[in-house]
Structure 1
Amino acid sequence: MKPIVNVIIPAFNEQDSIGNVIADLPKFVDEVIVVNNKSTDKTKENATKAGATVLTEERKGYGYACLKGMDYIAKKEVKPTIVVFLDGDYSDYPEQLTTLIQPIIENNIDFVIGARIKKLRENGSMTPQQVFGNWLATFLMKLFFNAKFTDLGPFRAIKYQRLLDLNMQDKTYGWTVEMQLKALKQKLTYTETPMKYRNRIGVSKVSGTVKGSIFAGIKILSWIFKYSFK
């Protein structure tokens, strides 16, 4: 049976990239949900023009936007089989969604991370603090949980029911690591799929600023230590 795939894209001031992201998604995707996270540009208009369902989340934060998308899905009559999370900055290759969900469809895996491996990354597409932060977070998850994650990549796919079981709560920078930690705690089956990665359109709101990098690092580490000593 054909899986029902919904894509959630949190977006803050991504007017120059959001149309490209939506256009490059495979045609079998059943619904693209863009969550306009307090943008001050034409993100909402451009996403609507590109054919997405556009929601508005006034509370600023990556997790807030993702939770808004999930709340919308929960109210739909027909629920998806798979939910994919994807950034709106065009750094990922949306057409690789087909590869991303393949382990779920073919091998019944619960959760798949699109891993931004070095040989497939464009030069400069990840800042030194991103590379170090990913290494540290995944090293600690390996140390405490014997995890096999190598990345906190935002391009990820998960079975919808498993996503509900995780009871996601983080409102800001800790969303990705919370999902991975809870997947480990609940013993979900998971894997990583190597993904191409390029320089984003525009400036990153997290890794592109010192403040964003520091807060993201603190949030990620706090989630890891919280779960390590439970």
Structure 2
Amino acid sequence: MPPIINVIIPAYNEEGSIAHVIKEIPNLVSEIIVVSNNSTDQTENVANQAGATVLKEERRGYGYACLKGMEYIASKDIKPDIVVFLDGDYSDYPAELTHLVAPILERDIDLVIGSRVKRLRESGSMTFPQIFGNWLATSLMKLFFNANFTDLGPFRAIKYDKLLALKMVDKTYGWTVEMQLKALKKHYSYTEVPVHYKKRIGVSKVSGTIKGAIFAGVKILSWIFKYSFT
């Protein structure tokens, strides 16, 4: 019996990109869930027309949107085997989802991170704060937990039962690092898969602003230090 795979896509004002993302997700996915994070444009209508299940989360924050998607999945009669998280800005290559879930299906890995390696990144697709922040965060995880992560990339796959066991709580920018830290604490098996990365459509709500970059950095570091000394 083929695995049931659900995709959660947090989206804030992504009307120009969301249909591209949805249409390039492989057919092995059972349901695509777009969570409109208080969008003020046509993101919801475009996503609906492209065939996604559309949810609304008025509280702004990446984590809030992801939690809304998880809440919806928990209400379903048939639960997925795997949940994939993917951004709605079309910076990732949705077709690479098959590579992302392969370690789970073939090697029983619990968590897979899509690593935006330099050789596969379009020039200018990641800002300096993003590159430095990833390096710092993964270096600290290596120092404190002997982890082998190289990225906090949002394109990731995880077994659904393992995701539930993490009891995720972060409401904003700390969502990705919280997941990785809790997975380390619980001794989950994990790996990374190199993924291509390109310039997003539109302006980033996080790395595109000084305020967003600083806030994201503070949240990420606070999670790392919290788990390093508990």
| Counterparts of 2:226 and 2:129, CA distance in 1 | 22
Identity %: 72
| Counterparts of 2:185 and 2:28, CA distance in 1 | 32
Cα deviation digits, residues 54-76 of structure 1 (max 9, x gap)? 00000000000000000000000
Pairs within 5 Å for 1:39-118: 39-118=39-118
Pairs within 5 Å for 1:165-184: 165-184=165-184
Cα deviation digits, residues 103-122 of structure 1 (max 9, x gap)? 00000000000000000000
2:47 partner amino acid = A
The residue that corresponds to 2:189 in the other structure is 189
Cα deviation digits, residues 66-97 of structure 1 (max 9, x gap)? 00000000000000000000000000000000
2:197 partner amino acid = Y
Deviation at 1:27, TM superposition (A): 1.0
| Counterparts of 2:18 and 2:27, CA distance in 1 | 16
The residue that corresponds to 1:3 in the other structure is 3
The residue that corresponds to 2:161 in the other structure is 161
The residue that corresponds to 1:132 in the other structure is 132
The residue that corresponds to 1:145 in the other structure is 145
List runs of 5+ in structure 1 lacking aligned partners.
none
2:206 partner amino acid = V
Deviation at 1:28, TM superposition (A): 1.4
**TM-score, normalised by the number of residues in structure 2:** 1.00
Q: Across the two proteins, how many residue pairs are aligned to each other? A: 230
| Counterparts of 2:166 and 2:57, CA distance in 1 | 21
Runs of 4+ aligned residues of structure 1 deviating over 2 Å after TM superposition are none
| Counterparts of 1:75 and 1:130, CA distance in 2 | 35
The residue that corresponds to 1:201 in the other structure is 201
| Counterparts of 2:79 and 2:154, CA distance in 1 | 22
Deviation at 1:164, TM superposition (A): 0.2
**TM-score, normalised by the number of residues in structure 1:** 1.00
| Counterparts of 1:158 and 1:27, CA distance in 2 | 18
| Counterparts of 2:51 and 2:60, CA distance in 1 | 24
| Other structure's SS at 2:200 match | coil
| Counterparts of 1:9 and 1:89, CA distance in 2 | 10
CA-based RMSD of the aligned residues comes to 0.3
